Homo-oligomer: A and B are copies of this chain.
Amino acid sequence: MKLFYSPASPYVRMVSALALETGQADSIERLPSAAGPVKRDASILAHNPSGKVPTALLEDGSALYDSRVICEYLDARHQGPRLFPAEGPARWQALTLFALAQALLDAALLARYESALRPEDKRWDDWLEGQLAKVDSSVAELEADWIDRLEAAFDIGALGVACALGYLDFRFAERDWRATAPRLAAWYAEVSKRPSLAQTVPQG
């Protein structure tokens, strides 16, 4: 499989971390990209009209996206324990937690674009605060309602949460999410030692 890649993207990191967790990292050929919400990358656009990373290309030439789909595809291809529970409440909880992590990241990326990409005179405080409020609510909910589950099992939901928190450290270190989430911080310190996460720390 080929993978349009960015070392700063938390969504790409989810795919890379899952590939490492499931012993498939060597079967992925990384393709460099320059994706962004304003500048588009023509090489990605030829396969995915949103122009986003991650976008995968399969052996038959067909494209696969987005991060959720590529993660589930890779998880269906190995023989070890699955990160996506197959069915029942475990599946819906894991997928909901994964969606929470994705929504946290969607809000964090919009906050980042508002405060770093958009021209200063076009920034709107209400928008920035609305997105950051989603980030803060998500961290609070992880600490209050999901931490027992996170501590119990490392599945696709936990992998997604770890990548989301890693992005906060990468781009929002000054906001210190750990201050109000001590159990989540302790969990994150522990899971960050996993090779799948230690080898995919964001760069850019």
> Which residues of A does B touch, CB under 8 Å?
37-40, 45, 48-52, 62-66, 68-69, 72-73, 76, 87, 89, 92-93, 95-96, 99-100, 102-104, 106-107, 113, 118-119, 122-124, 126-127, 130-131, 133-134, 137-138, 140-141
Please tell me if the beta carbons of B69 and A92 are within 8 angstroms of each other in the complex.
yes
Give Cα A123 to B124, complex, Å: 9
Give Cα A96 to B102, complex, Å: 17
Q: Which residues of B contact A87 (CB under 8 A)?
A: 76
Give Cα A100 to B49, complex, Å: 8
Q: What is the distance, in angstroms, from A131's C-beta to the closest C-beta of chain B? A: 7
Q: Is the interface of A mostly helix, strand, loop or mixed?
A: helix
Q: Which residues of B contact A127 (CB under 8 A)?
A: 37-38, 113, 118
Q: What is the distance, in angstroms, from A119's C-beta to the closest C-beta of chain B? A: 6
Give Cα A53 to B66, complex, Å: 21
Name, among A50, A107, A124, the residue most crowded by chain B CB atoms within 10 Å (CB to CB): A50
Please tell me if the beta carbons of B50 and A107 are within 8 angstroms of each other in the complex.
yes
Q: Which 8 A-B pairs have the closest CB atoms?
A: A49-B137, A50-B103, A49-B138, A49-B141, A122-B124, A38-B130, A69-B95, A66-B99
